[in-house]
Amino acid sequence: MRKYTLILMLGLFSIAVMAQNDPKAKAILDDMSAKYSDIPGFTATFTQSLENKMEDFTDTFKGEIVVSGDKFKADVAGQLIVNNNETVWTYLRDANEVTINDYDAEAGEMNPSKIYKAYQEGYKYLYMAGEGNAQYHVIDLVPEDKDESFYKIRLKIDKKTNLLDKWTIFDRAGNIFNYEVTNFKVDNSLTDKDFIFDPSKYPDIEVLDFR
């Protein structure tokens, strides 16, 4: 009995230690965040895949993103999302329909303009791998809010560039969302106009404005 009690205590201690913020992880995350903060804007292509092993389901999409500060534009799987940090436009190409909503910064939605600074509030972080000659630092983010739809984000940060090349979101429904960034390019020419969706450019478009 004492043996099992000791094992249980050690297990609980390990969980408690893992729940603490890891200084090594924080230093790497700070370097990554600083690198992106110094970039006025960027464009990139990316691959997004969805896995659900329980349902034996996999799907993969390719897309493009444009990011400047807290603003972003993502074009993937027939859907264009434009967010200027005040308004969000979601355009469905097949339906020729755009939905317009006020941007809710408190909603906690994970998007391309937030992923590299998400750790700064509401998350615990832990350095998982990357010692020696490994290409990536691997860091797990765990949300402090247990009601979040996802329970972990795994980041892979390139050691040479301090850029986030890959990340994976694990949700509580058994879905695994994988993202991999390719063809990353710094763009100094982006303006506020690049993050506004203009319905007048789409003939016969249906506009659903919920603002």
Give strand pairing partners of 186.
Answer: 42
Closest listed residue to residue 114, CA positions, set 63, 179, 188? 179
Distance CA 188, CA 40 (A): 6
Q: Which domains does the chain have, with CATH numbers?
A: 19-209 (2.50.20.10)
Q: What are the respective helix, strand and coil percentages of the chain, to the nearest 5? A: 25, 45, 35
Distance CA 83, CA 65 (A): 11
Task: Going residue by residue through the chain, which has 211 residues, state the pLDDT in tens, using 9 for 90 and above.
Answer: 443 333 333 333 333 334 457 899 999 999 999 999 899 999 999 999 999 988 888 999 899 999 998 899 999 889 999 999 999 999 999 999 999 999 987 665 656 767 888 888 888 999 998 877 889 999 999 988 888 888 999 999 999 999 999 999 999 989 999 999 989 999 999 999 999 999 999 999 999 999 9
Look-up: residue for tokens 């765990």?
142
Enclosing H/E stretch for 103: none
In contact, 164 and 179? CB cutoff 8 Å: no
H helical segments located in the chain: 2-19, 23-37
Look-up: residue for tokens 């850029």?
163
The pTM score is 0.79
